Structure 1
């Protein structure tokens, strides 16, 4: 076997990367002065007095997110307009200068506390681009300002699961372009919140390449190390809200981790993908979009492609001027959660008898169906093609199979799912990568036996989960 392929099979995630991958589905919440000006990007010249939500209820946000099955929430603590949702001591351009709660409010604290009460994790978004701050463009001075604000957020609001940076970079009030000190930002996060993943413009979680919910057919977590710097390179950073950047992806980028890529790249890293999109056309609330909430079918499609395609799903829900998720958004989140719970309610293969084409001692076939993410089936080292057959005990109708590799590597490159009918094996699904999770969806079939055949893998496959479902009949 090629040494490069073995090297790729041995690239491992960090615990902070795993903690986000295993969340699967979490919320983005874009809230700022933009909700009150009906803009997507603020100018930085907004008067803080316009920020005055009349009924802000972070518990309502959290409950709506939980109804959809989300495990966390990332809040835009400061967007490009520079307005801070917490009373930062480094600027007056914040909630402390607004009429909301007579200047005594702190949106970040309310949301962090609500997440803890609700049992989901809290993350922060802090825009490096600041169109209000006078020091922006005086690079040393602004970098200190930005680190000071990061320190406030990382020390005042409990455990943070993620710090989410984007690549927006434009001119500041002085007309100068800022040079961000990414390494210093990262070092501060590692010091103060060592368990927090640094996402997109960061080394832990990779942007999928667009904001349109597009998902790759083969999403690799093991990719070229050079991808770490893609979003923070200034020339490629977003400088205007032209609508094109949000849709950006190219066919050249579809393959980031195949054998062809692995064989050419000197250094590989674990850098899993996140798919982000908004439940509405915009990222911030606009009353004109109340009837443009994405249809359930569209959200389901993104869910299959992201959570079901070895990526995480970050779905934005923007609060309205009341400080509430709009009723239409709340209804859609509930519908999505009901679909997820209904589709994956009963695993027909849980604890079922299972046979392997071969197995290594200590990694027998039963470990693929025992429901334990810390155990896995594996053939002998060096066996790149192998298979499992599950006996459902009786004829069962099913239309989904969920596969997961052992969490510390990604090795499967091609596989086939088949079912027994009339004494013959018939193909149900052809797949490429599995990774953290692959949801295989196909027209309903009825059979007692389901077979997974891995036709190509790196070194030897490690399968931690083989689950079989009959989807929600009402979906």
Structure 2
């Protein structure tokens, strides 16, 4: 009887202790900082990783880069245009989405917009009956490429400045002229309505669109356009990823990502309508090719809004400008292309690679061949891991083991960002000769200039981190979270590879 009573008391005490510990754990978890979390469409967008940018329009025929809004639509006349060739080139590169400049800063529309006469309808292309936005959408849907449009509401030279007799330049000069244009309240309101109506056409007439590159979103002084534009987009296509409130640029057009990097940000005014606010260690970089978004923002681990980082690649994939220029638009070597992948996707961001069609309306052979070689190389490197873990692990220590010891030199980590980004510092170890030893990282990006990190170590992970490490022969590695901004680490995937050096690729 006594033994029974003692046993019963022990069980009761154990249950009480367990209940207390559970409540204590709940209290601790309740005190943890709340993290921003990505939406379902933001997670899907991050998983696309590589996109293709198609800069095409009147500029290809005038030699301009940004368009002054005064060149005649009659100069737009591609004779061999094939949107399917664009899309197939993008897919050979490994792109999951494509983005066409349906209306760049000069104001020329690649669809027969009812808002202006500055459109493809007044060009010789298909005797004025062409609609390149539709051709692009059809090609993307036929070949399974996610659809993106480029449009910029705050920069439309033809609409905003066609009445102005001065020279329409770029950077400070051009922006000052836009400011002059906007001083006229009646013209300012008309300008805004044209931009909203164009967006309504694009997001109503072509079915579901997956992504919109809204260049210069939130540019200071243009809130009167971007705030209602943001609301209109959410109303018309709530499932579309809209650059600005849902994605952001890295501060350059060279394919560099700041590291460590947080997807969560605080904004200038605390609302979704403004750009990321700086932290104390953030900076403004030197003007990169007239880029207005030259603020380098590391994000904030406890920021209110989630914005996927997406890197543009004007100075990373080929020479020349965004638009094709004869004898200038030539690809860089494969080694630079692979390096671009490691320093963008490999640091947790998307990369959108420019594939500018020429005046025939085709992606030039040199660019198309380079795009396929890049895609083939990335597939060769990352399609067949030595070992992988594909189930979410909620733990600060995660091991991956395989049967036979093999040499490895690359570890790919993915954080389970469904519940936010929390890992701030980690370590990787390999089991060698019966004991654990640190994997020494050898990430090195010689082209990176401050504030971009030449030697990113083991800090943030986010969507993905590709760590190059000193070669080691092992059959087991271990991830250890050393610092989290909120609770236990969550790992979505671990993969190990043995990749060839890429520095000598031609």
Which TM-score tier does this pair reach, normalised by the shorter chain?
A: 0.7 to 0.9
Report if aligned partners of 1:210, 1:245 keep a CA contact under 8 Å in 2: no
The higher radius of gyration belongs to 2
Structure-1 residue corresponding to 2:498:
470
Structure-2 residue corresponding to 1:7:
33
Report if aligned partners of 1:211, 1:248 keep a CA contact under 8 Å in 2: no
In the TM superposition, residue 163 of structure 1 has moved relative to its aligned partner by 1.5
Structure-1 residue corresponding to 2:261:
219
> Aligned to 1:257, which of 296, 300, 320?
300
In the TM superposition, residue 185 of structure 1 has moved relative to its aligned partner by 0.8
Mapped partners of 1:4, 1:283: distance in 2:
49
Report if aligned partners of 1:139, 1:178 keep a CA contact under 8 Å in 2: no
> Aligned to 1:285, which of 288, 313, 324?
324
Report if aligned partners of 1:29, 1:75 keep a CA contact under 8 Å in 2: yes
In the TM superposition, residue 471 of structure 1 has moved relative to its aligned partner by 2.0
Mapped partners of 1:322, 1:4: distance in 2:
61
> Aligned to 1:455, which of 482, 489, 494?
482
> Aligned to 2:402, which of 382, 392, 395?
392
After superposition, give the CA deviation of every residue in 1:130-155 in whole Å (9 maximum; x if it has no partner).
11125863221111111111111101
> Aligned to 1:29, which of 42, 54, 58?
54
After superposition, give the CA deviation of every residue in 1:62-102 in whole Å (9 maximum; x if it has no partner).
01100111001111111111110001112111111111111
In the TM superposition, residue 472 of structure 1 has moved relative to its aligned partner by 5.1
Structure-2 residue corresponding to 1:150:
199
In the TM superposition, residue 16 of structure 1 has moved relative to its aligned partner by 2.2
Secondary structure, counterpart of 1:81 in structure 2 = coil
Report if aligned partners of 1:25, 1:312 keep a CA contact under 8 Å in 2: yes
Secondary structure, counterpart of 1:445 in structure 2 = strand
Mapped partners of 1:466, 1:472: distance in 2:
19
Pair 1:414-2:434 in alignment: no
Shift in alpha-carbon separation, 1:168–1:158, aligned structure 2, 3 A: closer
Structure-1 residue corresponding to 2:464:
437
Mapped partners of 1:97, 1:247: distance in 2:
31
Gaps of 5+ in 1: 171-176, 233-241, 351-368, 380-385
Mapped partners of 2:297, 2:231: distance in 1:
31
In the TM superposition, residue 248 of structure 1 has moved relative to its aligned partner by 7.0
Mapped partners of 1:145, 1:400: distance in 2:
51
Structure-2 residue corresponding to 1:203:
245
Structure-2 residue corresponding to 1:321:
359
Secondary structure, counterpart of 1:297 in structure 2 = helix
Shift in alpha-carbon separation, 1:178–1:427, aligned structure 2, 3 A: closer
Pair 1:107-2:132 in alignment: yes
Secondary structure, counterpart of 2:387 in structure 1 = coil
Secondary structure, counterpart of 1:307 in structure 2 = helix
Structure-2 residue corresponding to 1:230:
275
Secondary structure, counterpart of 2:327 in structure 1 = helix
Report if aligned partners of 2:261, 2:460 keep a CA contact under 8 Å in 1: yes
In the TM superposition, residue 243 of structure 1 has moved relative to its aligned partner by 4.8
In the TM superposition, residue 407 of structure 1 has moved relative to its aligned partner by 2.9
Secondary structure, counterpart of 1:288 in structure 2 = coil
In the TM superposition, residue 420 of structure 1 has moved relative to its aligned partner by 2.4
Mapped partners of 2:245, 2:231: distance in 1:
11
After superposition, give the CA deviation of every residue in 1:3-26 in whole Å (9 maximum; x if it has no partner).
999324x32111222221111111
Structure-1 residue corresponding to 2:190:
141
In the TM superposition, residue 473 of structure 1 has moved relative to its aligned partner by 7.5
**Farther-moved stretch of structure 1 (160-169 vs 69-78):** 160-169
After superposition, give the CA deviation of every residue in 1:380-402 in whole Å (9 maximum; x if it has no partner).
xxxxxx31222211111222111
Report if aligned partners of 1:412, 1:434 keep a CA contact under 8 Å in 2: yes
After superposition, give the CA deviation of every residue in 1:339-372 in whole Å (9 maximum; x if it has no partner).
110001212223xxxxxxxxxxxxxxxxxx2x3x
Secondary structure, counterpart of 1:87 in structure 2 = coil
Pair 1:338-2:354 in alignment: no
Secondary structure, counterpart of 2:413 in structure 1 = strand
Mapped partners of 2:293, 2:229: distance in 1:
26
Pair 1:377-2:393 in alignment: yes
Report if aligned partners of 1:80, 1:127 keep a CA contact under 8 Å in 2: yes
Q: How many residues align?
A: 420
What is the RMSD of the two structures over their aligned residues, measured on CA atoms? 2.6
- If the length of structure 2 is used for normalisation, what is the TM-score? 0.78
Mapped partners of 1:404, 1:231: distance in 2:
24
Mapped partners of 1:407, 1:169: distance in 2:
26
Report if aligned partners of 2:89, 2:371 keep a CA contact under 8 Å in 1: yes
After superposition, give the CA deviation of every residue in 1:207-240 in whole Å (9 maximum; x if it has no partner).
11111112112111112233852389xxxxxxxx
Structure-2 residue corresponding to 1:423:
434
Shift in alpha-carbon separation, 1:46–1:169, aligned structure 2, 3 A: farther
Gaps of 5+ in 2: 1-26, 164-180, 278-286, 442-456
After superposition, give the CA deviation of every residue in 1:31-83 in whole Å (9 maximum; x if it has no partner).
11111111112110111111000100110000110011100111111111111
- If the length of structure 1 is used for normalisation, what is the TM-score? 0.82
Pairing 1:12-91 to 2, within 5 Å after superposition: 12-91=37-116
